[in-house]
């Protein structure tokens, strides 16, 4: 069964301290849903073409359905409520090919 992935790219982070509450709650929600962080805060990024050399977070789940359910979970919704006003990110849930 194909795995599911959360892919988040943060175009700009003006005040990383404002993400502390979100990061803590999101980490708890992801772990509770069976997610594994493969790349995240502190990872090195080399951007090409239209890429932006900012934070990229990659989280793996055992299935695509598990990844979608994790995003829709009450625990993750609580984390999302902690994102600061005006905060922007490019977030996708994608399925692996195998």
Residue 5 host element (H or E)? strand 4-9
What is each CA distance from 81 to 12, 13, 45, in whole angstroms?
A: 19, 17, 27
Tokens (6 digits) for 60: 């793996």
| pLDDT in the model for residue 5 | 98
Q: Say which CATH number the domain at 87 has.
A: 3.30.70.100
Cα R_g (the chain), whole angstroms: 13
- Which stretch of DSSP H or E encloses residue 95? strand 90-95
- In total, how many domains does the chain have? 1
Positions of the chain with pLDDT under 50 = none
Is the separation of the CB atoms in 63 and 5 below 8 Å?
no
Closest residue by Cα to residue 90 from 8, 6, 5:
8
Dihedral (C-alpha) 80, 85, 88, 94: value to the nearest 10 degrees? 10
The pLDDT assigned to 37 comes to 95
Q: What is the pLDDT of residues 81-95, one digit of tens each?
A: 999 887 888 999 999
pLDDT at residue 40, rounded to an integer = 86
- What pLDDT does 69 receive? 98
Which range of residues forms the domain containing residue 71? Answer: 4-95
């Amino acid at each position: 069964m194909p795995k599911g992935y959360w892919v988040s790219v943060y175009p700009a982070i003006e005040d990383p301290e404002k993400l502390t509450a979100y990061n803590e709650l999101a980490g708890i929600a992801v772990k509770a849903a069976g997610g594994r962080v493969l790349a995240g805060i502190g990872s090195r990024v080399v951007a090409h073409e239209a890429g932006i050399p900012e934070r990229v977070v990659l989280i793996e789940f055992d299935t695509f359905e598990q990844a979608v359910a994790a995003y829709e979970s009450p625990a993750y919704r609580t984390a999302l409520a902690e994102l600061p006003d005006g905060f922007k990110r490019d977030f996708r849930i994608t399925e692996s090919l195998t």
